[in-house]
Chains A and B, each alone.
Chain A
Amino acid sequence: MLRRNIRQRREYLYTKSLEGPQRALFEKKRRIRAALEEGKPIPTELRNEEHDLRRQIDLEDQERQVPKSIVDNEYATANIREPKILLTTSRNPSAPLTQFVKELKVVFPNSQRMNRGGQVISEIVESCRSHDITDLILVHEHRGQPDGLIVSHLPHGPTAYFGLLNVVTRHDIKDRKAMGKMSEAYPHLILDNFSTQIGERTATILKHLFPVPKPDSKRIITFANRDDYISFRHHVYEKPGGPKSIDLKEVGPRFELRLYQIKLGTVEQNEAQSEFVLRPYINTAKKQKTLGA
């Protein structure tokens, strides 16, 4: 089992590493193909390689023209099997943090909450693997306010580190009774404005936390990217007067996520390769839009 894991991890990393140059190659081929179709001269930087690539281009069919993404490897079984999530916190959580984690448990279908106690992260990950859990979510806090979220996809998958801002929990709202019970149907998802490559990656990571919903489900979870801050909103809707009128009712916690790292290993692998790291101290940090538009 250990050896298998190691082997699988190596495979995963290898294919991931191939993805980079493969993508570059794909880009070059695409440009040559476009130039040939339009009748324009081939760009000068590709002249040398054009001869070699031409043969490949000619033999390519529709399937081969699109580069194969490693997402197929990581999330290959995600479509078939439903995701199974384990939620836990940092050590010695405060009462507001435990409340928040309880709320998150209701938000994610098919999820379990576990007390942290004194466990070490590697132990937790091992037990998750043995129980066939697909995702591990850790929540961190600062003086009662939740301020960190780590989403780790489990077989060997990527880990996304988020910072939480402007957290409003259901417990904060006074008349909880009026809000009623939270629906536990499988929700529909809205992922808005994730247009760059890293944005797409984040979108898949967040998307595969949820199972396939029924088409008529009334529960909506939104991840909207505005200016690199992802807003999480949870609504239940109904259509009282025909299909055109939509009545949204906000339910569940509301917070902003800020992505600051994506690593290619699980949480316990400190030396894993980073796919993306936020760098706010460079001079052009203000201009960068990493997640989209």
Chain B
Amino acid sequence: MGMTSALAAAVSTGRQVFPSPCHSVMVMDLDEPLDTAAAEKGEAALRRLSEADPALFLSPSADLAAAARAASQHIYSSLAPLSLAQPPPLPTLLTDPAFDAEQIWSQIELLARPLLPHLRRQLRRLEQQPPSQQPPVATPAVAEGELLEEDGESSESEELKNEEELEGTEDEKESEGTQDEEEMGDEEEEEAELDGRGGNGVEDKFLKIDELTEFLEKGEEEEYGGGAKRREKKAAKNWMVESDGEDDDEDEDEDQLDLEDFEDDDEEGEAGGGDIRYKDFFEKGHHKQVKKRDGSIKKVQFKDDQAHESELDDSENDDGNDEQEQGLSTHEKERLKMRAKIEQMEKASLEPSTWTMQGEVTASKRPKNSALEVDLDFEHNVRPAPVITEEVTASLEEMIKKRIAESHFDDVEKPTMLPSKAPKEHKELDETKSKRGLAELYEDDYAQKAGIAPAPLSISDELKKEANTLFKRICLKLDALSHFHFAPKPVIEDMSVQANVPALAMEEIAPVAVSDAAMLAPEEIFEGKGDVKEEGELTQAERKRRRANKKRRYAASHKERPAKLQKD
């Protein structure tokens, strides 16, 4: 209620900013008589709405809608001069019947939105400062307020009316209504309401701010020991003690002293959370009497040691007290925690460990079905079996295609057949009649057997014959060259012309092994015996003897034959 009155005051003061003969004019506009009429109309509309039966709002009625538009326009114009951005973005609210509910609402929001943070700040300041103190901002308005009061009571009545109207609109807002009504509910009023109740809008069935603060304080208590604010200071002080334990600085002692002073001040009755200020640290000359918690007064001295000692004593005593009161330093707390943890771990290692931590565990040593729950991890020594994916198949097929293209296969090779025996000789049968008679064939056979005539060669092919002879000749030569004990070749008796080559030609520098058996024997060259004489050398008696021998021979050979036919 205080807030609404404050706002109303603000509104009223706002109204007085622009002094005019008409008390209700707020907007500095050119058309003054029109505005007056409009304002009256708006107020009439507001009155109408507040008086209307709530049940009427359940069904849409044009009458009420028009009234609502007029009322909202009136309120808008009364609040427009209060907006921070002067001139206001929209001087009047446009409420033609053609305008939609959304459009009217957005116009209101244009004006209202910038005002919200400003109003919030004001409210907070009002909350913080004691009610006796004057709000620092309102001084010019107050003066004008005084001015107004001089004008007359009508303004007050107007104020009251406006308050009522405001409250009426709040009520209307709370009741169910049409869309037009919702817009009409002034946003600032809503905001004022919300801020006035101090966070009540955030609360729920579940969330209570008081419970929240309680809980937070409890948590902090656990962490730091009783009294969050005290603890903060204590923490800060202890921190300073620990860190500067070796340094005996005068300044810091004094700082500590200062903190203590401040602490006591806070204890006395400050509502807010302990704000440490500059002057607490750096302003010397505080000679306030420090009150101990148990109530005794201790005189503060400026001597270093004493002050330090006193400080330390103080802190120790405080610590002792704090333990009792469950307020430990952070170091102490950490130590306690560590100790608790150590105890816990010692206890755990004395107990038998879980079955997963023991070495080889049989089924009887572990609880039933426990191996199913545990995530066992094995190291697998084998590579897993291959999964045949499409890529694998594709790569295999590619390889196969490449091999096919190259015709590179790994088939079994057929071995090359070595001939095991020589090819048979096919005897060709000659169809022609044999030139030699049967008797002659028998004759030849007998001659062969008897050894008179040489054996005929059995090889049919002449080329083969030739090849054979050549080969044999070569073999003979090689044998002669390579063997120590040479065996000459067997005699081939073939009818070849024996060249009566003079012996000189034969006698080359050839190895002895080249036999001269092929050469003609001397008897073959010359047959004869005894003294050989030439024709010219013969005597007459020898000539006659020769002739007689010849005749005798001739007669002997021709005796059997009959005499030749004599020529007739």
Residue ranges of A at the interface with B (Cβ–Cβ < 8 Å): 78-80, 165-166, 188-192, 203, 207-208, 210-213, 220, 222, 224, 226-229, 231, 233, 235, 237, 243-244, 246, 248, 254, 256, 280-283, 285-286
Contact = CB atoms under 8 A, between A and B. Distances in A.
A280 B383 CA distance: 9
B85 interface: no
B412 interface: yes
Contacts of B386: 165-166, 226-227, 229, 256
B334 to A, nearest CB: 47
B412 A211 contact: yes
Contacts of A78: 412
B382 A286 contact: yes
Contacts of B387: 166
Contacts of B388: 166, 231, 254, 256
B399 A286 contact: no
Contact of B415 (A79, A203, A246, A285): A79
A220 to B, nearest CB: 6
Contacts of B400: 190, 220, 222, 233, 235, 248
B202 to A, nearest CB: 64
Interface string B408-420: 0111111100000
Contacts of B404: 220, 237, 246
29 contacts: A80-B415, A166-B386, A166-B387, A166-B388, A188-B411, A190-B403, A190-B410, A191-B410, A203-B410, A208-B412, A210-B412, A220-B404, A222-B396, A224-B396, A226-B386, A226-B392, A227-B383, A229-B385, A229-B386, A231-B388, A235-B400, A237-B401, A246-B401, A248-B400, A248-B401, A280-B381, A283-B381, A285-B381, A286-B382
B510 interface: no
Contacts, number: 84
A203 B47 CA distance: 109
B509 interface: no
B397 interface: yes
Interface string B546-563: 000000000000000000
A189 B396 CA distance: 14
Given A220-B400, A233-B400, A248-B400, A189 B409 contact: yes
A67 B401 CA distance: 35
Contacts of B415: 79-80
A256 B385 contact: yes
B385 A166 contact: yes
Nearest to B382: A280
Contacts of A191: 410
Interface residues on B, range: 20 to 34
B408 to A, nearest CB: 8
B399 A243 contact: no
Given A220-B400, A286-B382, 8 more contacts: A79-B412, A166-B388, A189-B410, A189-B411, A229-B385, A229-B386, A243-B405, A280-B382
A285 B382 contact: yes
Contacts of B410: 189-191, 203, 207
A3 B103 CA distance: 116
A208 B399 CA distance: 22
B318 to A, nearest CB: 65
A244 B397 CA distance: 15
Interface in B342-400: 381-383, 385-388, 392, 396-397, 399-400
A257 to B, nearest CB: 11
Contacts of B412: 78-79, 189, 207-208, 210-212
B414 A212 contact: yes
Contacts of A282: 381
Contacts of A254: 388
A138 to B, nearest CB: 22
User: Sorted from nearest, which 7 A-B pairs have the closest CB atoms?
Assistant: A191-B410, A188-B409, A79-B415, A285-B381, A280-B382, A246-B401, A212-B414
Contacts of B403: 190, 192
Nearest to A210: B412
A210 B411 contact: yes
Given A246-B401, A246-B404, A281-B381, A231 B411 contact: no
Nearest to A76: B415
A123 to B, nearest CB: 30
Contacts of A231: 388, 392, 396
Contacts of B414: 79, 212
A246 B397 CA distance: 11
A163 to B, nearest CB: 10
Given A189-B409, A243-B405, A248 B381 contact: no
Contacts of A79: 412-415
A221 B404 CA distance: 11
A69 B412 CA distance: 16
Given A224-B396, A286-B382, A212 B411 contact: yes
Nearest to A214: B411
Contacts of B397: 235, 248
A233 B397 CA distance: 9
Contacts of A208: 412
Nearest to B380: A286
Nearest to B398: A248
A248 B411 CA distance: 19
Contacts of A233: 396, 400
Nearest to B400: A222
A139 B415 CA distance: 32
A224 B395 CA distance: 11
Nearest to A287: B383
Contacts of B413: 79, 212
Contacts of B382: 280, 285-286
Given A188-B409, A243-B405, A165 B385 contact: yes
A282 B386 CA distance: 20
A180 B365 CA distance: 61
B406 to A, nearest CB: 11
A151 to B, nearest CB: 15
A286 B392 CA distance: 21
A233 B394 CA distance: 12
Nearest to B386: A229
A286 B414 CA distance: 39
Contact of B399 (A210, A224, A281): A224
A233 B396 CA distance: 9
A246 B404 CA distance: 8
A208 to B, nearest CB: 6
A237 B397 CA distance: 11
Nearest to B409: A188
Nearest to A223: B410
Contacts of A244: 405
A192 B408 CA distance: 11
A213 B407 CA distance: 13
A99 B404 CA distance: 30
A283 B410 CA distance: 35
A281 B388 CA distance: 25
Contacts of B409: 188-190
A225 to B, nearest CB: 11
A78 B415 CA distance: 10
